[in-house]
Structure 1
Amino acid sequence: MTAPTATPSPAPRPPRSFSSARASSARNAITIPSRADVFSRLQYKVLQNNRRDGLDTHEFNGEQIIYLARNGGITNPRTGKPAKSRFLGEPGPTPAANPESRISNPESDVDELEALGEWITRQPLFARSQANWVWFQLMGRGIVDPIDDFRPTNPPSHPRLLDELARDFAAHKFDLRHLIRTIMNSRTYQSSAEPNDTNQEDEINFSHALPRRLSAEQLFDAQHQVLGVAATFNDFPSGLRAAQLPGGSPVRRNDLKNAGAEKFLAMFGKPARLLACECERSSETTLGQTFQLISSPAVNEWLTNPTNRLASMLASGKSDAGIVDGLYWTALSRAPTPKELAEATRLLGDAKDKRPALEDVAWALLNAKEFVLRK
């Protein structure tokens, strides 16, 4: 579930989960009924949503808008004031009884979403969940794994590590960049992916890096960045990155054969985002993904685009070696080895038309393990 942020400032990423356990302390500003009062007024609309199939509620062709209805509450007919939800028989909260009660106080003029965001970030599980999620994204395995399973019977593999990451994350005002920087500067993150005799069987102690392929969005965006072409998605403006796609897919699964970009993302495990669970995303490697990289019409279209980076490289007047060197730096962030440089320049030198030859070199780089995998 995506929860609202505490303030409207441009934070790197909003909070994404929170504890549903009701706190018994009087310091908690929001109770279960009060949270329900906020979420019950969430409204959802899709503008100009002309579906091909009127029964398919997962097809989106218009702009999706989620907002909080200000007039969606219930008015007390005797007082004429907004009625706040609470358990049956429970007395109404007063500022004197609970001075921090900002959302359950009918006289309060504080934004309810802001108060809810402040309450969420005070819950200990929020910082732990966020720290575990970021660790999973960077390391390939969560300290609590599966990452959405915080049951008492599924304890963290390294509880002190998770506690320290959560404490440091909260101490720095939930700054995701700080958390990412902390993990990436660690010796654990910088470990080699090549195991030795002592850790080759290890899967839970993070003794070596775990090679894994890029996610669907990462791979798609990386290919377009290397080739210098703008991505196109059905019903979205040109140039939007796959990582920026909002909401669910605007294309029905049955129509993916006619949508190159959407089919590519679905093939590599991009979820339809119908569940608030990381388990919806698939990270497995399939034979279909191999064919998609090697011979799909979509990848061929990006390679042969007459205005892509390959065209500008050939028009720059650089030598064959300079073109190959630039392409390697763009795709792999390193210079080609002497052997790689010799083979690529020989291929370009022997070709009557350098454009198809350079497309072959680019195709080989896009299919290289060094490009497709993280380690």
Structure 2
Amino acid sequence: MEEKMKAIFILIGIMGWIALIGSICIYLKIMKNKRQSLKMNNREYIGPKIVVIGGGTGQSVFLRGLKHFTQNITAVVTVADDGGGSGALREDLGMLPPGDIRNCLLALANIEPTMNEIMQYRFTEGALKGQSLGNLFLAAMNGLYGNFETAVYKMSEIFAITGRVLPVTLEDINLIAKLHNGSLIKGESSIPKEVKHQNSQIDKIYLYPKSAKPLEEVINSIQDADVIVMGPGSLYTSIIPNLLVKGVVSAIKKSNATKVYISNIMTQPGETDNYNVLNHIEGIIKHTEAGLVDYVIANNEILPNNIFSLYKRDGAEQVLLDENQREALKNMGIKVIEDNLIEIKNNYIRHDAKHISSIITNLSLSHIYDEDK
């Protein structure tokens, strides 16, 4: 088994050098484009400084759109995942879960589509069944450098990513959920299953250990941001876990950035059943404090019946605003931006990343203008 893993890591190393050569060419092209970019206040304009806090598919989808509007992106990613291929590597190698980090790196990568597909490839049989090559690549980098932060940085260089990706903490953390019936559930992957099984919703989420500290770069990025975006993504297992790491909420509060929450399009069965937009904000406040959000961006498009029915079978509903919610949010000092935010591909619903990115960019430019006055 040890020899097999060595062979796999050698193979990944070879592929890494191939990717590096291609990435160098792309990097030189990016540098050329940067030199030709606009100037602002006698400085090279590379776009507003936007920090995106979250994890999961929602975050990586958004980042794919955002990189077309600014090169100044910092993705802050949760590392509480304990399921699937990430969970297996976490248990076997004692490393932080690579899955969400990998997705964000590839979302921001400037590589050929074929290489992206290779990195997302999942083995379908054998000892590696369920593992993605990108996860193994990051595991190999972690083993080579002996440090997860360095591994992420080196992988960022290889794939010439736009911006940077940061794990919110380098500590080994787990999620614990307290349900309304009093049960305590340990492990991110177990929480939705037990919510359904026990028919009791989440009351509160905790981190273990509670003393987990963030990366210094995470705090610095938050303090220096023009806009801080929370979401889109799973409320209790992707967004709130980042906010529970000590020092993150206080850094957000102290930052002069515009703070934005992007609401999910659909509820997540086993996590946010029957939630509306206001309920999501209340969930964030319950785990942090009031005044953490300046704007909510919410979808107002009603899904076609044929698409909605596919999600309804799994227990999902649309997350929509009504007048009562709008009034409540206004009383909280939160501004609401509503728009058609849905993109449908192959009957799969996701956020229209470029449209949301244009909204975020406009907010950031307003912030910069206000600061310069």
Higher strand share: 2
Shorter-chain TM band: under 0.3
Higher relative contact order (CA 8 A, sep 6+): 2
Higher helix share: 2
Rg larger for: 1
With structure 2 as the length reference, what TM-score do the two structures score?
0.24
